[in-house]
Structure 1
């Protein structure tokens, strides 16, 4: 009987310590924000099949307090040769508003940003049902000065009627 109680106490102790280890691991969670930056060759503010990836473009991840907007986390990064970036984030930012911001295009001929489309909001918490540590914001796009001539054809293939091309 004494051995049974000792074994039960040992098992209970192991469960308690394992839960504490999981709690410690959850609070030191590291996320990775993975996204891409492209050149909008049709000036339509979304990707088309003729959009081009922008290598070496600059992006920034910013997290701000909901109340007052004080900056709590910032990390700068750049895109690779395929126009994708991967930014590490330490800790849980459940109570903050986090966004990836396009800072600078690597191409002078594709550097226009439309207000409101230069950033993508992202959730950085492990308390929302997402099991992966990777988070994927919407793509960020810079626009060329004038749409390419074949954009009307591309948009027609997509079933879209251009309003100002």
Structure 2
């Protein structure tokens, strides 16, 4: 009788474990991930943010996920930045088998709308299977180039250690 009870208990425990694994898989495919990032105006034309960089309100960005093998587009979404230059995408499902990137599309600023190839996108992992518990994924900041660098840039870059002190 004791053997039968332990066998039944083992079967129940196994069933509970299998059921909880199925629930986790179902939740993973239904989970929403949030991609957030920032778009700035590179006022010094140095391809990174400085204290003189400015947020770009109303900039267009696009999230594109492509299959790793076939390169077929699996997801494409567009967003616009808010007053502080931030954008958000709410993405459903897991995109572990895809390469996902946020791309600059357009700037509303005539004085700061140059897109530099190679610096116009940020790759982002959109899967829950990367050891990150949080559902928010932060993309690297993206910048449009100002037509001409500000005069103050030399001093800022010097203070940052990028230019020699005269």
TM-score where L is the length of structure 2? 0.89
Structure 2 match to 1:143? 145
Answer yes or no: is 1:22 the counterpart of 2:24.
Answer: yes
What SS class does the counterpart of residue 127 from structure 1 fall into? coil
Gaps of 5+ in 2: none
Aligned counterparts of 2:68 and 2:21: Cα–Cα separation in 1:
31
- Choose which of 113, 116, 123 in structure 1 pairs with 2:115: 113
Structure 2 match to 1:52? 54
Structure 1 match to 2:96? 94
What SS class does the counterpart of residue 111 from structure 1 fall into? strand
Structure 1 match to 2:105? 103
| Paired residues for 1:2-41 under 5 Å | 8=9, 10-41=12-43
What SS class does the counterpart of residue 120 from structure 1 fall into? strand
Gaps of 5+ in 1: none
C-alpha displacement of 1:112: 0.6
Length, aligned pairs only: 162
C-alpha displacement of 1:29: 2.3
Aligned counterparts of 1:23 and 1:114: Cα–Cα separation in 2:
40
What SS class does the counterpart of residue 46 from structure 2 fall into? coil
Aligned counterparts of 2:92 and 2:117: Cα–Cα separation in 1:
29
Aligned counterparts of 2:130 and 2:21: Cα–Cα separation in 1:
20
